[in-house]
Amino acid sequence: MESPIVTSSSVGMQILIYLLVILMLLISLTIHELGHFTFAKIFKVNVKEFSIGVGPCLARRTTKQGMRVSLRLIPMVAYVMLDSSRIRKLYEDEKENKDYKWWMAKPPKGKIVLEQAKIWQYLLIMFGGVLFNFTLFLLLYAPLFFWMQHLGYLFAPFQQIGTAFVNVGKNMIFRGGGDVFDPAQIDAIIKSKHWVLILFVILSQMNLITFIFNIIPLPPLDGWKILSYGIQKGTKKEINEKVELIMTVIVLVLFIYIFVSGIICDFIR
C-alpha cells in the first residue's frame, strides 16, 4: 500500500518535523538511559547522576543517597553516570574542584562501584539501554502497523530506516540524498490531524535508530563499552585512554556532521 503523495515545501512544516524528531529523540535517549539505570539499581551499582540533556545545569535535585537528577540546557542527549574506579581516578587530583567530595564520596551502604559487578551483570547493565529501546519499538510495532494500514499509510520501519541510512550517506557528500523521515507521509498524517499517530511513528523509529546506533562498536557507544570490556578482560590490559578519547571525539564530530549535513540538504531541497 503506497503512502499518499504530498509535497513538503513549507519551511515551517520542516522545522516542526525537526522539533518533533528532537523531542522523540530525547524521549528515546531517556528510555535508553533508564535501561542502564534499572539494571544498575538491580545489581546495586551506585548511580552518581541521571541527567536529561547536556551542558549547563538548569535544575538539579539530589536524593538522600547522593544521586543527582539533573535537567540540562541542551536537550539532545540523556545520560546515566555510574560510580566507577575509573571516574574516581580522573578526579583524584582535582581537589580544588567544588564537586571533589561528591566524586570521591564512598558508595552508600550496600552499593558497589561498576568494576565490582560480575561480568554478566556488567554486560546486562551496558546492554540494558538498547534492550529497553528495542522492547519499546516491538511494543509499538503491531498497533502502529494496523493503525496506519487502516488509515491508508505505509508503516515499514526497517525499510524506511534502511533508506534513511542510504540518504544519510548521500547527504554527507551532498549528493542529493532524501529525507531521513518520509516528508510526504509525515505531511499527510499531520494534515489529517492524526497528531498522536505521528508522535508514536517517530518515537518507534527513533527507538529503533537508537538501538541500531548503540550496538555499533565505536566509542562512546554501548557496543564499544561491551567490546572494550571484553578486550580488557581477555588481555588483562587497560584500553589506552588517549586513543579512546581521540576515537570518541572523531565519532562525536562525525555524528554532528551527519546531523548538520542532513539539515542543510533538506533545506536546499
* pLDDT band, very low/low/confident/very high, at 250 (cuts 50, 70, 90): very high
Position 211 pLDDT exceeds 60: yes
> The whole model's pTM is what?
0.85
Lowest average pLDDT, out of 20-24, 57-61, 81-85, goes to 20-24
Q: Read off the pLDDT band of 192 (50, 70, 90).
A: low
Q: How far is CA 253 from the centre of its chain?
A: 16
- Poorest-confidence range of 81-90, 100-109, 249-258, 260-269? 260-269
Find cell 541521571 and name the residue: 50
Mean pLDDT to the nearest integer, 74-81: 86
For the four alpha carbons of 160, 222, 240 and 91, in that order, the dihedral sign comes to: positive
Contacts of 88-92 spanning 24+ positions with Cβ under 8 A:
88/113
Average pLDDT, the chain: 84
pLDDT tens figures, 53-62: 888 999 999 9
Confidence grade of residue 7 (pLDDT, cut at 50, 70, 90): very low
**Are 83 and 90 within 8 A, CB to CB?**
no
Q: Does 182 score more than 60 pLDDT?
A: no
